[in-house]
Amino acid sequence: MVYIVRYGELGLKGRNRGKFEKLLIGNIARALDRKSFDYDIKSYRGRVLIYTDNDAKFVLEKVPGIVSFSPAEEMSYEEVFSYILSKLKTMTPSTFRVSAHRVDKSFPKTSPKINEEIGSFIVQNFGWKVSLKNPELIVGVEIINSKAFVFFSTYRGVGGLPVGSAGKLVLLISSGLDSPVAGYLMLRRGAKIHALYLSQGPLGEKKVRKYITILSQYAPEDIPLEIHSHHSVLAEYARVLENRGMKRWTCVLCKYMMLHFAEQVAEREGALGIITGDSLGQVASQTLNNMYASSIGLKMPVYRPLIGMDKVEIESLARKIGTYEVFISAKEEKCPFRPKYVSVETNVERFREILKNLDL
């Protein structure tokens, strides 16, 4: 069997295309290697062809950069007719259509011509009705490198760009629902990820490790996860704030410390920014004031791919990638420093002063 893999971000052109394709092929190969599959990869004019006897669907549907793919059989155009005859005789669709695409423009028959030839052949032999709009069966035919590839199903890929087409980012991951989704979205746009978890305890850690296992399926290699205890660092400052009657600033300070720690890790790792799961207004602490205050003095950009999304949209993405189940099926430690009232309208200038006094 051969999988026809389609890619191609709109607007991707010129010199980038070759680099993109090379990276995509490398990533597909590594994903197949991890499953110890036997395979052979070729590429031809905007198509990648994967020859394998293994069931590669579950691998291909998680490789960023793939828009769609179809498990197909390769043959000469003349052979298509007898192949279709044997394949279709067990099927009973009420309507069908042929969907031909001539990737190889040097092939003498045009796509409409192929549609017509194969379509009337099927009508003659099976008497099925043609429906262009919403057929039960689509007989796909692509002409690639003068050969015909015939298929009956097409699967959607993840889309986006191949991991590695952008540089590295540090993902500030937590045991919550949002940050793994944020990591997924940036992976899908080609970023390499180095995950950083500032741990609350073993339960949170277990959850985060599961998230990383899931996210790693979308990457050509396992995503590194760096874990530090955040408590030991935060504890002292949380006490100082409490003693000064400023306990409600604890969460902003905590976030400030996490972001700055992430920036240090990013510098060490040669990463170019930080990813967070922030979504505006989703919880009381994710206000514009708090996000401004907690990023005071950062040199690197912070990427917040969920910033404009609703909770339902984030949940739906989490379900799609598989992190939702982990999120709801296990508990994690509660933060012992979280005050009853969290400052939501943090005055940025006031917070600057507090930072000065704390002398971090």
- Number of residues located near a second copy, criterion CB under 8 A: 49
Block residue for tokens 């002409």:
143
Give phi and psi for 116, each to the nearest 5: -70, -45
Contact 298, 259 (CB under 8 A): yes
Window 168 to 197, contacts with a second copy (CB under 8 A): 169, 182, 185-186, 188-191
With respect to a second copy, which residue has the nearer C-beta, 140 or 157? 157
Distance CA 190, CA 158 (A): 12
Q: Is 118 in the site for a second copy (CB under 8 A)?
A: no
Structure tokens at 100: 């031909």
Q: What is the three-class DSSP state of 71?
A: strand
294/109 Cα distance (integer angstroms): 62
Can you tell me which residue has the tokens 């002063």? Answer: 353
With a CB cutoff of 8 Å and minimum separation 6, the contacts of 270 are 167, 168
- Could you say whether residue 289 binds a second copy (CB under 8 A)? yes
Cβ 297 to a second copy, closest distance in Å? 9
Residue 246 makes CB contacts below 8 A (sequence gap 6+) with 354
335 binds a second copy (CB under 8 A): no
Task: Output 242 or 310, the one with its CB closest to a second copy.
Answer: 310
Of the candidate residues 91, 123, 288, 330, the single one contacting a second copy (CB under 8 A): 288
- Minimum CB separation from a second copy for residue 17, in Å? 11
Alpha carbon distances (Å) from 109 to 63, 80, 100, 104: 33, 14, 10, 10
Binding mask 290-329 for a second copy (x = CB under 8 A): -xx--xx--xxxxxxxxxxxxxx--x--------------
226-285 residues near a second copy, rule: CB under 8 A: 272-273, 279-284
For the bound state, the minimum distance from the C-beta of residue 159 to a second copy, rounded and expressed in Å, comes to: 5
Q: Which residues bind a second copy (CB under 8 A)?
A: 9-11, 16, 159-161, 165-167, 169, 182, 185-186, 188-191, 272-273, 279-284, 287-289, 291-292, 295-296, 299-312, 315, 348
